[in-house]
Structure 1
C-alpha cells in the first residue's frame, strides 16, 4: 500500500470497521442510485433455466430416500 494511506494495520482495522458498520453497503447503494438516475443501469434481467445443468450425479439419484445401496463388488455383475 502507498505510504500516504498509513500502516497496513490501520487500513485493515478501518476496512473491518467499515465492513461491519455498513459503510460499503451505503457506498454501493449511493453509486447504484446515481447510475440509475442517470439511466446507466438496465434492470431487465432474463434467466433461462434450460442452460442450467444438474450435477452429473443428480440424474441417477434414487427416489424414495437417501439410503445407500450395499455394493456387492465386481463379481456380482
Structure 2
C-alpha cells in the first residue's frame, strides 16, 4: 500500500491499542497482509511472514468484518470519492446479475454416485 493510500485509510481504522504487555501489531502491516491474501487468492496459511502471523492477520480481518469496519470504510471512501468527483457511478458498480459462478460453487460434488433404477 502506498503512503498516499495509507494516509487515506488510517483515519478510518479503529484506534491502535496501547502497548500494555505485548506490543500491538501495526494496522498498516496487518492491512497489507490482508490485501495480499485478497489480491492473490492464496489460503491464509500461505501468508508471507513479513505481514505477521497468520493468526494475527486473519483474526483482525474477521474481527473487523464482524464489527462492520470494512463496510464503514467502503461507505466512507465512496462518500469521499463522490464528493471529489472521482467516482463515475455509471461505470463503478457491481451488478450481480452478470456475475457467473462456477458450477462447483453451487455445491456440486465430483465422484458422488447416484443410484439409478
With the length of structure 2 as denominator, give the TM-score of the two structures. 0.34
With the length of structure 1 as denominator, give the TM-score of the two structures. 0.49
